[in-house]
Amino acid sequence: MIWTWPSREGLTDLRGRGVAKKKTDETLKPKPSEAGGRVSVIHLQGPIEERDWLTVANKKTHLSKATIVRLALREWGTSKGLQPYPMQGDED
C-alpha cells in the first residue's frame, strides 16, 4: 500500500477534531490600523526604578506617560538644535 500526504483541507487529528489551516501570507499581513494612522514609535525597557519614576511623575502631573516622554523629547530636541518634535496634541 502506498500512502500519500493528505491535503490540509478536511485534515483531522487522532480524535477526529478539525486541524487549523496553515497560515498563509495573506493571513500574516497586518490589518490597517483603525486608530487614524497611528503607529508604535518607541518601546522602552529599563530598570524598575525608571518605571516607578515615570509612574510617580504621571500621578503628580496628571499627564499620561506618553505625553511626559513626548515633552521630554521635544525639549531635548530643541536643546540640540533639531527640528521641533511633531507632537499631534495631548489626547493620550
Express each pLDDT in 3-33 by its tens digit: 556 555 566 656 666 666 666 666 666 666 5
Would residue 68 count as lying in a domain? yes
Residue 85, pLDDT score: 84
**Given pLDDT bands bounded at 50, 70 and 90, which one contains residue 42?**
confident
Q: Is residue 11 part of a domain?
A: no
Indicate the number of domains in the chain: 1
Any domain includes 19: no
Q: Is residue 1 part of a domain?
A: no
Domain assignment present for 31: no
Whether residue 71 is contained in a domain is answered as: yes
* Average pLDDT value for the chain: 77
Give the pLDDT score at 91.
47
Q: Report if residue 53 sits inside a domain.
A: yes
- pTM score, two decimals? 0.55
Average pLDDT (68-82) is: 93
Q: Are 19 and 12 in contact (CB under 8 A)?
A: yes
- In which domain, by residue range, is 76 found? 40-92
Look at residue 74 and tell me if it is in a domain: yes
C-alpha to C-alpha distance for 41 and 43, rounded to whole angstroms? 7
